[in-house]
Amino acid sequence: MVYGIADTTICPTGDLACDGSHFDIYNNGATVAGADGKIHIDLWRAATAANSSAGPAGRTGFSTYPGITSSTVWLSLAMVSGVKADNPLTLLYNESNAELYQSANATTNPTSGSGQFLADVVDGTFGPNLNTNGFSRFGTSAKADVFGQFTFAPNVPTCTPPNLTCFENRGNDPVIGNAELVPEPSSLALLGLSLLGLAGIARRRK
C-alpha cells in the first residue's frame, strides 16, 4: 500500500523539460487530513491474496485498507529526500528536497510515465535485511536504504473509462536494496513491489 503523497510542485518555473505534453511532478509527504508528513510504502503478508476491488473508496483510514492491511507487515518504508539533483534553472524550487519524482505524459488519460524515489526502512519482518544505508542522496550526506523506480500507465481494461471508483493507474516497479541477510554475507536483492494506484494517488492531494 502506498499512501501519504502530496504534490509539492508541478513543472517549477525554469523547468525546460515541461513542454505541454510532458510535466515533472515533485512530491513530499502530506500534512493534512490525518497524514503524518511522510510518503509510505507498506507490504503485507497474508495467507490469501490481497483484494483491492473496492477501489479508492475501500480505504478506511490513512494507513488502512480492509483485505490488505490486516495481516503481517513484511516491509514498511518511508520515502526520503534526495532522489533528484537540484536544477540550477529552477531558481524558486530545489528539486533535491523532493521525496518522490514523477515524469508524466499529458497525452494519455489518466497520465502515464515513470518515477523514482529513495526510502528508508521503518518496520517489517524483512526490514532489518535492507536497513543498510546503501544509497547516496542529493543535497545531504545522509544515506537511504532503498532506491525505487517505476512506470505507470492507464489501468485498462479494469478501470475503463477512467473514474474515481477504481484505481486509474497500474504500475511496474523494481525496488533495489543492498540486502544484508544476517548472518549471511551481503548480497543484492531485487524486490518487485506492486505499487498499484501510485500515480492516481499522487494526483489527488491528501
pLDDT of 96 over the 70 cut? yes
Between the alpha carbon of residue 179 and those of residues 142, 184, 195, the distances in Å are 18, 10, 20
Whether 183 shows a pLDDT value over 50: the answer reads no
Q: What percent of the chain has pLDDT over 90?
A: 42
Compute the average pLDDT of residues 93-99.
Answer: 97
Lowest mean pLDDT among 54-68, 76-90, 178-192: 178-192
Average pLDDT over residues 79-94: 95
The DSSP result for 25-87, as a single string, is EEEEE--STT--S--EEEEEE-SS----TTGGGG--BTTB-TTTTTSEEEEEEEEES-SS---
- Total structural domains in the chain? 1
Q: Which structural domain range is residue 126 located in?
A: 2-203
- Indicate the pTM of the whole model: 0.79
Of 61 and 166, the one with more pLDDT: 61
The confidence band for 179, taking pLDDT boundaries of 50, 70 and 90, is: low
